[in-house]
Amino acid sequence: MAIKLSTKYVEDFLSKFQLSSLQKKVSACHDMLHNKTGEGSDFTGWVDLPVNYDKEEFGRIKAAAERIRKQADILIVIGIGGSYLGARAVIDMFKDPFRKTTKTEVVFLGQNMSSEYMESLLHYIIDKDVAVNVISKSGTTTEPAIAFRIIKEFMERKYGKEYAKTRIYVTTDKEKGALKSLATTEGYETFVIPDDVGGRYSVLTAVGLLPIAVAEIDIDELMLGASEARTKYMENSLDNECYKYAVYRNALYKVGKKTEILVNYEPCMGYFTEWWKQLYGESEGKDHKGIFPAGVTFTTDLHSMGQYIQDGRRELFETVIKIKNSRSEIVVREDMLDLDGLNYLAGKSMNEINEKALLGTVMAHYDGNTPSMIIEIDEISPRNIGELIYFFEKACGISGYLLGVNPFNQPGVEDYKKNMFALLGKPGYEERRKELESKSK
Ligand code: PA5
């Protein structure tokens, strides 16, 4: 078993009655998800995706990744939100933070509107061979659309229109949206985001798989881990740890623990936390309710956020990701003089020390009234990460239903867009513009 959940440092905060009432509800949520009778059921294609995916397209993804690795020093992945975070999360977990270890470097664009970021990237790629993967399910999202307009021009200037085409890969809806029309008109190779898979649940579609494969991460193993998780987390009971996690976080929410902090002890998992934050924040934060998802990397953030978690407002709980076996084993050596006083650590690996920091912190936070669940993973491998992705996706669907919201829509995201379009003078938003202008006077 690659993933294990421990609730030892949470139990005292919850009553048996509370857990048993949620336990009854979870069974109904399981049925809603699997029988497609719950809200947002049109977007539950991710549940069976690890086995029920387009095998022909999967082959094309691998072939395209191989071609990109031959064509390009840099792959620019353009996308935002669910069309960005999953790929970045997985790639970062397998990327060496200092050395270039893959043929093609994957960089990200279109996840902000910063001119400085864009200019810096344009300088970085000027003398490099470049390929582009632009990703947008709706095909109309402003940030990636602006980025792609600029990069398309760069590519056509650098390679000529005809040759640039062979270096541009599009991932979008099978028929709708401006990006789809553009891809058809220009003749770009295109990959499809299934209708029934929403952005934040799409990392195991071409959205995540193409960039991940370009980064030389084994996508067969990733899918294998996810399909094993699909079987493992199918059981309709609290022995199912995925459901147990969903139940416990809802129970904690009910006793006033309104913020969940995902804690990792490996810096390579920072973007995994960002992916998780989007998954839970966009799925549950609606109808004026939902746990607020936050994240920290320890021990780094013990020296910044640790004080608050130990001693600030008591509305927090933590979900700690513990990696049992590190991919590296550096041991602290004995020093004759021991001027730094660290000889008591001689012979211990950094991993052992990290593990003790984890346990010591969990216990200190528990004593300070911040409970923790611990999710232990054997090691960071594509197969285990496939399992972890599926674990969190399924727990999120169940948790959203337990909370009583539709976990598969994101109506609140539209509001800032309407204002931004109005302020930028987009046709069709004239009335809104007048309203905003009169309010801001
Ligand atoms: O989860 C979601 O649906 C969103 O975060 C989207 O992924 C994000 O808004 C980007 O949308 P699109 O892929 O349509 O450009």
Q: For residue range 133-156, what is the model confidence (pLDDT) as tens digits?
A: 999 999 989 999 999 999 999 999
Nearest CA to ligand 1 atom 12: 136
Confidence of residue 89 (pLDDT cuts 50, 70, 90): very high
Cβ–ligand 1 contact at 180 (below 6 Å): no
How confident is the model at residue 17, as a pLDDT?
84
Nearest CA to ligand 1 atom 3: 199
Catalytic residues: 282, 303, 417
How confident is the model at residue 272, as a pLDDT?
98
| pTM check: above 0.85 | yes
- What's the order of all strands across the beta sheet hosting 189-192? 105-109, 74-78, 130-136, 168-172, 189-192
How confident is the model at residue 144, as a pLDDT?
97
Three-class SS of residue 58?
helix
- Distance, CA 80 to ligand 1 centroid (Å)? 6
pLDDT at 21 over 90: no
pLDDT at 300 over 90: yes
Mean pLDDT of all residues in 378-404: 97
DSSP assignment, residue 237? S
How confident is the model at residue 417, as a pLDDT?
84
The domain ranges of the chain are: 3-38+223-403, 46-217
Nearest CA to ligand 1 atom 8: 81
Buried b (16+ CB within 10 A) or exposed e, 290-299: bbbbbbbbbe
How confident is the model at residue 197, as a pLDDT?
97
Confidence of residue 416 (pLDDT cuts 50, 70, 90): confident
How confident is the model at residue 441, as a pLDDT?
77
Number of helices (H) and strands (E) in the chain: give both, helices first.
Answer: 16, 10
Q: Give residue-wise pLDDT tens across range 151-208.
A: 999 999 999 999 999 999 999 999 999 999 999 999 999 999 999 999 999 999 999 9
One fold for 3-38+223-403 and 46-217: yes
Residue to mutate (ligand 1; options 141, 142, 207, 414; most atoms within 8 A of CB): 141
Cβ–ligand 1 contact at 199 (below 6 Å): yes
How confident is the model at residue 87, as a pLDDT?
98
Confidence of residue 412 (pLDDT cuts 50, 70, 90): confident
Cβ–ligand 1 contact at 283 (below 6 Å): no
Residue to mutate (ligand 1; options 78, 83, 109; most atoms within 8 A of CB): 83
How confident is the model at residue 199, as a pLDDT?
96
Cβ–ligand 1 contact at 141 (below 6 Å): yes
Q: Give residue-wise pLDDT tens across range 34-58.
A: 999 999 999 999 999 999 999 999 9
Domain boundaries 46-217, corresponding CATH code: 3.40.50.10490
Cβ–ligand 1 contact at 177 (below 6 Å): no
Atom of ligand 1 nearest to the CA of 177: 14
Mean pLDDT of all residues in 271-292: 97
Atom of ligand 1 nearest to the CA of 201: 1
Cβ–ligand 1 contact at 82 (below 6 Å): yes
Confidence of residue 437 (pLDDT cuts 50, 70, 90): confident
pLDDT at 214 over 70: yes
Q: Give residue-wise pLDDT tens across range 304-339.
A: 999 999 999 999 999 999 999 999 999 999 999 999
How confident is the model at residue 1, as a pLDDT?
60
- Residue whose token pair is 């195991």: 204
Mean pLDDT of all residues in 209-221: 98
The residues pairing with 289 across neighbouring beta strands, listed in sequence order, are 286
Checking 157-165 for CB contacts under 8 A at 24+ apart, the result is: 158/130
Percent of the chain with pLDDT over 70: 100
How confident is the model at residue 61, as a pLDDT?
98
The residues pairing with 196 across neighbouring beta strands, listed in sequence order, are none
Q: Give residue-wise pLDDT tens across range 4-20.
A: 999 999 999 998 888 88
Q: Which of 192, 151, 187 is nearest to 171 (CA)?
A: 192
What mean pLDDT value characterizes the chain? 96
pLDDT at 90 over 80: yes
DSSP of 340-370: TS-GGGTT-BHHHHHHHHHHHHHHHHHHTT-
Atom of ligand 1 nearest to the CA of 80: 10
How confident is the model at residue 18, as a pLDDT?
84
Cβ–ligand 1 contact at 80 (below 6 Å): yes
Domain boundaries 3-38+223-403, corresponding CATH code: 3.40.50.10490
Give dist(CA 194, CA 182) in Å, integer.
19
